[in-house]
Structure formats: structure tokens, C-alpha cells
Amino acid sequence: MKKQALARTIKTGIQRTDLAEDEVRQAIERAKQYPFIAYAVDAPYLELAKQLFEGTGVLLTAPVCYPLGGMTLETRLDQIAFAIKVGADEINASLNFNAIKSGDFSTVLDETKRLAEAAGDNLDVIVIPQFFILTNEEKLRLCHVILEAGVNAIKTNGHGSLCRPEDIILIRREFGNEFSIEASGGIRTTAQAVELLELGSNFIHTSTPYSVLEDAE
Amino acid sequence: MESGELNRSTLAALIDHTELHVDATYSDIQRLCLEAVKYGFASVAIHPVNIPLAVKLLKGSTVKVAAAIGFPTGAFTIDGKVFETEDAIKKGAEEIDFVMNVGAFKAKNHSLVADEMQAIRKATGDLITKAILETCLLTDEEKVAACQIAQQSGIDFVKTSTGFGEKGATVEDVRLMRQTVGENVGVKASGGIRTTQDALAMIDAGATRLGVSAGIAIIEGLGE
């Protein structure tokens, strides 16, 4: 795969507890050298990132309830309102994993509907089901709930997990092309990215885009 | 406090019984609350999404509900963290453990960190409020400065770690934090404290609260 073509499947960003503003600026200036699709930063840096990406066409991704999924619905809605205010293009919203693992899918359905409503036409909603911690049965049930809530884009995992190729196969088999799939979790090499794209991922989400591009032509 | 004077119940009263796993279930929260009542832990420390369940289960007990705010990165706006804090209190949280804005602090933006701590202090009113420094990311000099900002902002406890960082509490960090804040501010050691011996070492270094998932093993290791 050619570098430019691969870069046009990549969503990336920089999110770390001890991240200072200078490092965000440097990271964004470097990212602007490539035609990446989208870039995520934490809330304190969204306005800065919006300015720095102005006119580039790179989408700005705002995290919501990221990455643990432990925030209340009200807090998530507050984060969505902020994302709209700063002019973000899309959100990466962690779902309520404790509810999912408890089999409480009615709560997950209600909450996901509310997130989608709050985003409205202002933001594209990408939810994070965190496949890494789910059984196959939970993955499928959850994806039906996500569709029922009116959301059709998923980012497979959040921080600190590993994307399994078989998850992409599972979702494509069950749902065809109903979902836009962003493969994420531990994707570090060109080979990993190419495999996940061949299996049906629409996008690759990686915090290490330059190592992912390294072996591309 | 000297660890040699502690018995099971006075040790339990220093423990925040903690469940923050991404894959925790309602049954895990239920178990946590029942154990906290049985052993007399100071609080259950949980994600805000689980506050309503814990409030129901702990009604009429002395165990407090402590909410984890800004977890795990602390990388939120001041308004965002204040909103989350107020929402947690509205839902019944009685203690607040928030992660400070470590990124701003590392960039030496101490005034933003102080503004944030003061805004959260104001939002929590009389409730016990703990500022998490995530000490594994700080130099010793930074640990001292962060403790001073917290103390000047009226924070009740300086706390070492979220438990999601590279490393948790160390005896040296707890000692340094205690030396910095003196006797009037609490020090909470959290992250990686698994045995009775770990717990007692933290207390001897100056910790007045412990955040642990292994609370029962720690209590039972003390002997009757």
C-alpha cells in the first residue's frame, strides 16, 4: 500500500496525562505533513487544535467519557456540548462498560440515543464498544443496540487494549456494511494496519501513525 | 499515627474500598458496598456512573460514597471537571477524588492548576476533597509544588495516584508529601498497595487514607 493512501485511512491524535501544550503544538505540526483523516486531543487542547488545523480539512475528534466509560450520562452530554462549542467534527464516545458487562443493555440503548440526539447534525458520533473486554455474544448484542440508537460508526477499542482481527470479521459478517468501523488498539505496524483494512475496517485509529506508515511504499 | 497502634477496625476506617475497573459489573459494586459496611471502610471509591447504586446500598451506613472525577487523565477543562463534580454530588457523592490537570502542571501553568483546585473546592463545599497528583509522572520538586498548590487551595487530601498510571504510591512519595503539607492536610496513598505490610508502611510514612482494591486481605492480614 502507498504511504499517501494508507495515511488517508488513519485517524490519530495525542492524549496523555502529562501532556503539555508545547508538545501538542509540535505533534500537530508534524501531523499536518500527512493527509490524516482525523485528529483527537483531550478537552483542554481542543480549541488550540481547532486553530492549528484550520483550513487543512483534517477532522477534529473530541473524546467523550474517554477512556473508562465511567462518567454519568449528564457529564457525557456536557462534554458533547463543549465539543460542539469548540467546533469539533466528531466524537469518540466510550460507552457505559459497567452497564454492558452487567447485561443492562436498556440503559446502554437509552444513553446512546441521548448521545446521538445531543450530537445532532453538529458532530459525527463514533462510539467505543471496547471489544477487548467483551465476549462475542456481548459484542453482537451491543452492536445491535448501537444501531437501534441510531449510531452507525464504531471505534473498536479505547486506550490500552489490542484490536483483534477476528472482531472486524465478526462485525462485517453480522452487519455487512451497516457500520463504519475504525479499528483501534495497539496498531503499530504497516502490516497490522493493512490486514485490518483488508478484513473490512474503514479506518485505522493509532496513536503511532508514523510507525504504521513506515513500511508502506 | 503509628501503624503499631492500629487494630482491624481503626485500619479499616482509613481505607477507601476501591472498584474502578472498566469491566466491573453491578454485582461488583454491590459486593464492594456490602464489604465496606461489614468491615467499616471509610468509603467506596467508584466511577460516577455507579453512584446511584452505591447510594442505595449504603443508605443508613457510615460508609461514604467517594466519586472519581476527571479519571484517569485529569485532561479536562476546569468547567468540565466542576460540572462532573457537581453532578456527582447531586447524585449522592460524599467525597470527591479528582485528578489534577497534570499536563498544565508539567507546563508550569501553576495558576491554571490553582484555579482548578479552587473551583473544585468551591463546588464540593464541606465534602472531603482529594487532589490526585499522579506522582509517578512528577519530579520530587514538582510533587512538593503540587502539594503546596493543593494546600493553598484548601484541599483536604493530597493523593498519590489514580491506579491507572505506570506506578502507584511509594513510601518515599508519601513521606515527601507529608513533610510538605504538615499535619493539617491528609495524605492518601493509592495504587499498588496490596498487602498489610504495604499498607502499614504507607501509614508509617504519613498516609492518613489508603485507596486499595485489596482492603479485605489487608485487614485480615493484621490479625485479630
* Interface membership of A17 toward B (CB under 8 Å): yes
B182-202 average pLDDT score: 97
Q: Which is the catalytic residue, given B97, B156, B173, B198?
A: B97
Preceding omega of A165 cis (within 30 degrees of 0): no
pLDDT score for A199: 98
Preceding omega of B72 cis (within 30 degrees of 0): yes
pLDDT score for A75: 98
* Interface membership of A78 toward B (CB under 8 Å): yes
Q: Across all residues in chain B, what is the average pLDDT? A: 97
Task: Measure CB to CB from residue A72 to each of B48, B77, B134 and give the nearest one.
Answer: B48
HSE, side-chain direction, 13 A CA sphere, residue A213:
20
pLDDT score for B51: 98
Looking at chain A, list the stretches that DSSP marks H as alpha helix, in order from N- to C-terminal side.
3-7, 21-31, 46-53, 73-85, 97-101, 105-119, 136-148, 165-175, 190-198, 209-213
Label residue B167 by pLDDT band (50, 70, 90).
very high
* Interface membership of B104 toward A (CB under 8 Å): yes
What is the Cα gyration radius of chain B? 16
Closest CA to B19 of A96, A70, A16: A70
Q: How far apart are CA B123 and CA B108, in angstroms?
A: 24
pLDDT score for A209: 98
Closest CA to B159 of B195, B125, B193: B193
Torsion of CA A15, A20, A22, A26, to 10 degrees: -20
- The alpha carbon of residue A104 is apart from the nearest alpha carbon of chain B, in Å, by 9
* Interface membership of B72 toward A (CB under 8 Å): yes
Amino acid at B24: A
pLDDT tens digits for range A124-169: 999 999 999 999 999 999 999 999 999 999 999 998 889 999 999 9
Query: Which phi and psi angles does A15 have, rounded to 5°?
Result: -145, 115
Label residue B170 by pLDDT band (50, 70, 90).
very high
DSSP annotation of B63: P
Using DSSP, state whether B194 is helix, strand or coil: coil
- The alpha carbon of residue B138 is apart from the nearest alpha carbon of chain A, in Å, by 9
Label residue B214 by pLDDT band (50, 70, 90).
very high
The CATH number assigned to the domain holding A77 equals: 3.20.20.70
HSE, side-chain direction, 13 A CA sphere, residue A1:
21
* Interface membership of B83 toward A (CB under 8 Å): yes
| C-beta separation of A178 from A151 below 8 A | no
- Could you tell me what percent of chain A has a pLDDT over 90? 97
Domain count along chain A? 1
- The alpha carbon of residue B109 is apart from the nearest alpha carbon of chain A, in Å, by 9
Label residue A1 by pLDDT band (50, 70, 90).
confident
Query: Which phi and psi angles does A107 have, rounded to 5°?
Result: -65, -45
pLDDT tens digits for range A175-217: 999 999 999 999 999 999 999 999 999 999 999 999 999 999 9
Label residue B223 by pLDDT band (50, 70, 90).
confident
Query: Which phi and psi angles does A177 have, rounded to 5°?
Result: -105, 20
Give me the CATH code for the B3-220 domain, please: 3.20.20.70
The boundaries of the domain holding residue A181 are: 3-213
Q: How far apart are CA B150 and CA B158, in angstroms?
A: 7
Grid cell digits, residue A75: 457529564
Do A98 and B101 make contact, defined as CB atoms within 8 angstroms?
Answer: no
pTM (global) more than 0.95: yes
User: Which ipTM did the prediction report?
Assistant: 0.97
C-alpha distance from residue A195 to each of A11, A16, A140, B3, B81 (Å): 16, 27, 22, 56, 40
Dihedral sign from CA coordinates of B133, B136, B137, B143: positive
pLDDT tens digits for range B123-156: 999 999 999 999 999 999 999 999 999 999 999 9
Question: What residues of chain A lie within 8 A of the CB of B165, using their CB?
Answer: 17
pLDDT score for B113: 98
Domain boundaries, chain B: 3-220
Start-to-end CA span in chain A (Å): 6
